[in-house]
Chains A and B, each alone.
Chain A
Amino acid sequence: MFNSSLRQLGAVLRAKKISSVELTQLYLDRIARLNPALNAYITLDQEKSLAQARAADERLANGDATDLTGIPIAQKDIFCARGWLTTCGSKMLHNFVSPYDAHVISQFNDAGAVNLGKTNMDEFAMGSSNETSYYGAVKNPWDESRVPGGSSGGTAAAVAARLCAAATGTDTGGSIRQPAALCGISGLKPTYGVVSRYGMIAFASSLDQAGPMGRSAEDLALLLNTMAGFDERDSTSLQRDREDYARDLAQPLDGLRIGLPREFFAEGLSSDVAQAVEAAIAEYKKLGATVVEVSLPNSGLSVPVYYVLAPAEASSNLSRFDGVRYGHRAPDYGDLADMYEKSRAQGFGAEVKRRIMIGTYVLSHGYYDAYYLQAQKIRRLIAQDFTDAFRQCDVIMGPTSPSTAFKLGEKSDDPVQMYLSDIYTIAVNLAGLPGMSIPCGFGADNMPVGLQIIGNYFGEARMLNAAHQYQLATDWHSRTPQGCKETT
């Protein structure tokens, strides 16, 4: 059951071979056994999950079930869910029981999916290892001495360990793709504006985008069908016709033109990752694709540009946490300014403070032009590189991350080293393009390697098609970590 696809689960639920309550209980029991070692979840609430499962069973009995009715999924703790503690991985929100649902949550609720719990994450999604969470680091199910990646590390670990059928993530600079790669699962960041950001706690609003994380491209397509769509409550939500992201899954790959950016295969890429990615490209050629070398000459600047723009937007977004209306307020304080300063100093962790400081600095008087404006100009150059590259190809492929999962603590004292682990993913957010990561083999110490697939704007169905055809021909995506093999 734990290795079934969403389609298979939907079929057995509709055929009444298992009830949603039974399926949810199986997952809750498995979480109780395996989660203490992994720390993939911040909040579990059996009563709420089972109540949703009972409601799903009624829908199934009445015959008004959707593809996802009764299927137990997990939600990254960045999504506000009514009545659920929603912490965003921070002490600042340790007591925030959300009074409303994010758009993504209400979409899943409307579809009848069951929420198993809220998954762990880097604090305010700022991190690439899940070590900045106030609720403790998440362990990689493939090797518990290693990080799962971040910021959607709890989701990635939960999917890899089969502690949910699928789950949600968010990606500002790689936070869906990098943990998906490091945990050997599939994850997709849609084109900016495809999924509403309403109720998704903001980090860098011009880059943040929610997306699905699961075990296969086919599962991602089903999830994206539920998550995507116009929402007037997000001012950047795009007004587009609904599409079926699964419509092209079965198409053959004959004639698919794959662009390989030479900058993604240069210095800094581990040889084990390079080997696995090259083997995946060879597999694509066997499936009928052709390969062309492309260049993204400004992509090397994406990390510096990102570390100006994302902190600048974060410093503004996080100014709302002031200890007045919700969240942490310092127990002792003098005047109003003292209350703000102490509440924020106590509520935020080191990495969040660091980024607020960078952002405040680059936006402050005298530095705005040199940093913020310059970064926005280079952002355009980076986006233009992709536009040029897509004249020669349909999708771009390369590594998701320069290395496999690193050890817990290995990079946590060196922010710059940590930032460089997102070197291949950040440019995609800056350009607003869709990107995904799928498992494509194993590197040193038998740790999973992710293949990144970047599409043109609104190219999700094409990317999912390319990923699905690869997953029909290979079985990397169905490998399970050793300690998580027990199934029922």
Chain B
Amino acid sequence: MSPSNTDVRKVARLARLAMSETEIESARAQLSGIFNLIAEMQAVDTTGIEPMSHAQDVSQRLREDKVTETNQREAFQAIAPQTEAGLYLVPQVIE
């Protein structure tokens, strides 16, 4: 199936990507080509096949519930766009 401009606009919003109308149109054209490639999958009968989500059939390893990380706030915040008093600054969300 080919996505419409409305689909592309919706996906861009979900993906938090600002896109101009020109970019939406060119994205739609390229996504259509890719979805034609992907469409090949639809003809395959996969009744009763278990989905394979991972390369190895191993279960998630568990660890003891204790603190292992050391505090490196200063090192991590040294590369942040904007911080103050140990906090990351973003535009106000709640009035």
The reply to whether A236 and B41 contact each other, CB–CB distance below 8 Å, is no
Residues of chain B in range 44-87 having any CB-CB distance to chain A below 8 Å: 44, 46, 49-56, 58, 60-61, 63, 72, 75-76, 78-82
* A403–chain B nearest beta-carbon distance, Å: 18
The reply to whether B90 and A326 contact each other, CB–CB distance below 8 Å, is no
The reply to whether B91 and A326 contact each other, CB–CB distance below 8 Å, is no
The reply to whether B76 and A344 contact each other, CB–CB distance below 8 Å, is no
Q: Which residues of B contact A429 (CB under 8 A)?
A: 55
The reply to whether A315 and B15 contact each other, CB–CB distance below 8 Å, is yes
Which of B16, B39, B51, B80 is close to A380, meaning CB atoms less than 8 Å apart? Answer: B51
- Which chain B residue has the least Cβ–Cβ distance from A209? B55
Which of B11, B46, B93 is close to A364, meaning CB atoms less than 8 Å apart? Answer: B11
The reply to whether A345 and B52 contact each other, CB–CB distance below 8 Å, is no
The reply to whether B17 and A356 contact each other, CB–CB distance below 8 Å, is yes
Tell me the bound Cα distance from A371 to B3 in angstroms.
14
Residue A3 interfacial (CB < 8 Å)? no
* B17–chain A nearest beta-carbon distance, Å: 5
A-B contact count (CB 8 A): 164
Residues of chain A in range 358-394 having any CB-CB distance to chain B below 8 Å: 358, 360-362, 364, 370-371, 373-381, 383
* B18–chain A nearest beta-carbon distance, Å: 4
The reply to whether B17 and A357 contact each other, CB–CB distance below 8 Å, is yes
Which of A327, A339, A357 is close to B91, meaning CB atoms less than 8 Å apart? Answer: A339
- Which chain A residue has the least Cβ–Cβ distance from B44? A378
* Shortest Cβ-Cβ A-B pairs, 7 listed: A432-B55, A376-B51, A192-B55, A380-B52, A377-B46, A329-B81, A341-B18
Q: Which residues of A contact B40 (CB under 8 A)?
A: 301, 304
Which of A303, A344, A380 is close to B17, meaning CB atoms less than 8 Å apart? Answer: A344
* A173–chain B nearest beta-carbon distance, Å: 13
* A454–chain B nearest beta-carbon distance, Å: 14
A-B contact pairs, 11 of them (CB 8 A): A96-B79, A99-B78, A206-B54, A232-B61, A319-B16, A326-B81, A335-B93, A336-B93, A353-B17, A364-B10, A380-B49
The reply to whether B56 and A432 contact each other, CB–CB distance below 8 Å, is yes
Tell me the bound Cα distance from A356 to B63 in angstroms.
32
* B10–chain A nearest beta-carbon distance, Å: 8
Known: A339-B91, A377-B49, A380-B51. A192 touches B41 (CB 8 A): no
Q: Which residues of B contact A336 (CB under 8 A)?
A: 90-91, 93
The interface residues of chain A, by DSSP majority, are classed as: helix
The reply to whether A354 and B61 contact each other, CB–CB distance below 8 Å, is no
Tell me the bound Cα distance from A207 to B55 in angstroms.
7
Q: Which residues of A contact B15 (CB under 8 A)?
A: 315, 344, 356-357, 360
The reply to whether B42 and A374 contact each other, CB–CB distance below 8 Å, is yes
Known: A356-B17, A361-B31. A324 touches B90 (CB 8 A): yes
Residue A266 interfacial (CB < 8 Å)? no
The reply to whether B41 and A301 contact each other, CB–CB distance below 8 Å, is yes
With an 8 Å Cβ cutoff, the count of chain B residues facing the other chain is 50
Known: A323-B81, A324-B88, A383-B52. A341 touches B46 (CB 8 A): no
Tell me the bound Cα distance from A383 to B38 in angstroms.
19
The reply to whether B90 and A378 contact each other, CB–CB distance below 8 Å, is no
Extra A-B contacts (18), CB below 8 Å, given A333-B91, A373-B51: A99-B78, A232-B61, A301-B44, A304-B40, A308-B38, A319-B16, A323-B81, A325-B76, A325-B80, A340-B16, A348-B17, A354-B27, A354-B31, A357-B15, A374-B41, A379-B52, A415-B30, A432-B54
- Which chain A residue has the least Cβ–Cβ distance from B82? A329
The reply to whether B37 and A303 contact each other, CB–CB distance below 8 Å, is yes
Q: Which residues of A contact B14 (CB under 8 A)?
A: 360, 364
Residue A193 interfacial (CB < 8 Å)? yes
* A363–chain B nearest beta-carbon distance, Å: 9
The reply to whether A357 and B41 contact each other, CB–CB distance below 8 Å, is no
Q: Mark B10-29, 1 if CB is under 8 A from A, else 0.
A: 11101111110000000100
Residues of chain A in range 155-213 having any CB-CB distance to chain B below 8 Å: 192-193, 206-207
Tell me the bound Cα distance from A381 to B47 in angstroms.
12
Known: A192-B55, A344-B18, A380-B49. A324 touches B81 (CB 8 A): yes
Residue A36 interfacial (CB < 8 Å)? no
Tell me the bound Cα distance from A360 to B90 in angstroms.
25
Residue A235 interfacial (CB < 8 Å)? yes
Known: A323-B81, A377-B49, A381-B49. A308 touches B41 (CB 8 A): yes
The reply to whether A206 and B53 contact each other, CB–CB distance below 8 Å, is yes
Q: Which residues of B contact A371 (CB under 8 A)?
A: 38, 41
* B2–chain A nearest beta-carbon distance, Å: 11
Tell me the bound Cα distance from A336 to B89 in angstroms.
10
The reply to whether A322 and B16 contact each other, CB–CB distance below 8 Å, is yes
Q: Mark A327-349, 1 if CB is under 8 A from B, else 0.
A: 10100011111111110110010
Tell me the bound Cα distance from A326 to B58 in angstroms.
33
- Which chain B residue has the least Cβ–Cβ distance from A207? B55
Which of A97, A193, A323, A341 is close to B79, meaning CB atoms less than 8 Å apart? Answer: A97
Residue A2 interfacial (CB < 8 Å)? no
Tell me the bound Cα distance from A353 to B69 in angstroms.
33
